[in-house]
Amino acid sequence: MFSIILKDCGKSFNRNWLFRNLNVTFQSGEKWAILGPNGSGKSTLGLLLCGQLTPTEGIIEYKNNQDSIPLNDLYNFVSLTSPALELNEDLNTEEIFGLHHKLKPMQTANGAEVFASMAGFDKKTMQKPIATFSSGMKQRVKLAVATMSNTPLLILDEPFTNLDKAGEQFFYNLLERFGQNRLLVIASNREEEYAVCDRRLNVSGLNADT
């Protein structure tokens, strides 16, 4: 059982609080939607959960089967994608999957082939540099690399970015196949993006005045 425990957590930038007094526990098997308008702190909370930011106040504990996880080891437990993260556009899709598999285990040994089948990419497309892809094609690759990684925590920030309807269905198929029994966190202000989540946390109500 993987868990993240936030105790009296708050985060501020330039003396402005995004949220404060956050006490919540996230656990394996749960599907959370982090909600709020633009600028409310959704992405910031996602980065706190995966250890890329530290809280201004309060503490965050990470545990695996009740054993504490050192922050330096947290990378092995986390998969993240967001509009701010970029792919190496000099590589092709097969190379992206090959490189990622060396850095972090994936749920299937033939990740590139599985992705190609699910995304409808032929061999020629898989061997084209990422720089030649449309924004929607790049987003499919980013979502697949994160979702297919063998980690207990999956954080997806605005996963529908640049996706058309076919891309949105691809996303749902990815989660159905590779997103089970994990802690899933989706940061979004679009209901269709977090429809799979049964838990909600609205950060806009957790400001300094509450």
d(CA 185, CA 24): 13
Q: For the whole model, what pTM was predicted?
A: 0.93
| Contacts with 27 (C-beta within 8 Å, 6 or more apart), sequence order | 1, 2, 3, 4, 183
| pLDDT tens digit sequence for 122-177 | 999 999 999 999 999 999 999 999 999 999 999 999 999 999 999 999 999 999 99
Topology of the domain covering 2-205:
Rossmann fold (3.40.50)
Runs of H (alpha helix) within 50-182: 93-103, 111-119, 123-126, 135-148, 165-178
pLDDT higher than 90, residue 40: no
Listed by start position, the domains of the chain span 2-205
Mean pLDDT of 89-98: 96
3-state secondary structure of 42: helix
Q: What angle do CA 126, 99, 188 make, to 5 degrees?
A: 80
pLDDT at 14: 86
Amino acid at site 131: A
3-state secondary structure of 129: strand
pLDDT band at 209 (very low <50, low <70, confident <90, very high): very low
Spell 39-55 as b/e; 16+ CB within 10 A means b.
Answer: ebbbbbbbbbbbbeeeb
pLDDT higher than 80, residue 10: yes
pLDDT at 204: 82
- Surface-to-core class of residue 174, CB atoms within 10 Å of its CB (0-12 exposed, 13-18 middle, 19+ buried): buried
Amino acid at site 123: K
